[in-house]
Amino acid sequence: KTLTIGGYDSAWLADLVGSYIFELAEDRFQLLKYLGLYRDDGNVIFNEVRSTNYICDWLTNFQSKVNEIVGDDSIQFTMDIWKPGSESCTLVPGKVKVVGTDAFPYLDSQMMFDGENNLCFECYSKPGYQTKYLSMTSTHTAANKRSIPRGVSIRLAGLTTRTKENEQKSLSTLYP
């Protein structure tokens, strides 16, 4: 309760608690192709297309296991179900939503399907977001300040699915 939101210690603790819960609930993840966790945001991809009811039941079952592990209901999981082409709606208020958009943002990336139905990723920022890494008047060395654009470029490249169409394009062209 005394850790700063966004601080290193709180991020470390969030990752530790999440990883602990996921390890103890690993039997709930047998039908998943992918399970990712970043602080208090998780991402699951099922092995095959599942109905909305199935996914809601899965979340209820998973939440029951979490409550058992924690000993109460103090940690609550919510879910956005990505169904491109569907109408976006709330299924369970404060708990489950359907997102029908063509692309689905998750943290700094956005998932979408290409023309061949392959899952692809690109960088994503919330509308109006301004990237600020470091004040030029800070006491960091000039070498630190000069290294930031390269580090950001490497990170952006890692978040982007490379395709024939974008392979020869620079990141500044892909993300102006």
- Name the residue among 159, 158, 84 with its Cα closest to residue 117: 84
Residue 92's DSSP bridge partners are 96
Residue 10 or 23, more confident: 23
Average pLDDT over residues 22-27: 93
What is the rounded CA–CA span in Å between residue 90 and residue 52?
12
List of E strands, the chain: 32-38, 41-46, 79-82, 89-92, 96-99, 103-106, 109-113, 119-123
Residue 40's DSSP bridge partners are none
With contact defined as beta carbons under 8 Å apart, do 123 and 108 qualify? yes
What does R_g of the chain's alpha carbons equal in angstroms?
Answer: 19
pTM over 0.75, yes/no: no
With contact defined as beta carbons under 8 Å apart, do 81 and 55 qualify? yes
User: Which pLDDT tens digit goes with each residue over 113-162?
Assistant: 888 888 888 888 888 877 666 777 878 788 877 777 777 777 777 777 87
What is the rounded CA–CA span in Å between residue 154 and residue 29?
31
User: Which pLDDT tens digit goes with each residue over 43-61?
Assistant: 888 888 899 999 999 999 9
> In this structure, what token pair is assigned to residue 170?
């620079």
The SS3 call for residue 88 is coil
With contact defined as beta carbons under 8 Å apart, do 4 and 10 qualify? yes
Regarding beta strands 41-46 and 32-38, do their DSSP bridges make them parallel or antiparallel, or are they unpaired? antiparallel
With contact defined as beta carbons under 8 Å apart, do 96 and 90 qualify? yes
User: Which pLDDT tens digit goes with each residue over 62-114?
Assistant: 999 999 999 999 999 999 999 999 999 999 999 999 999 999 988 888 888 88
Does 39 score more than 90 pLDDT? no
Please name the residue ranges forming H helices in 107-160.
142-159
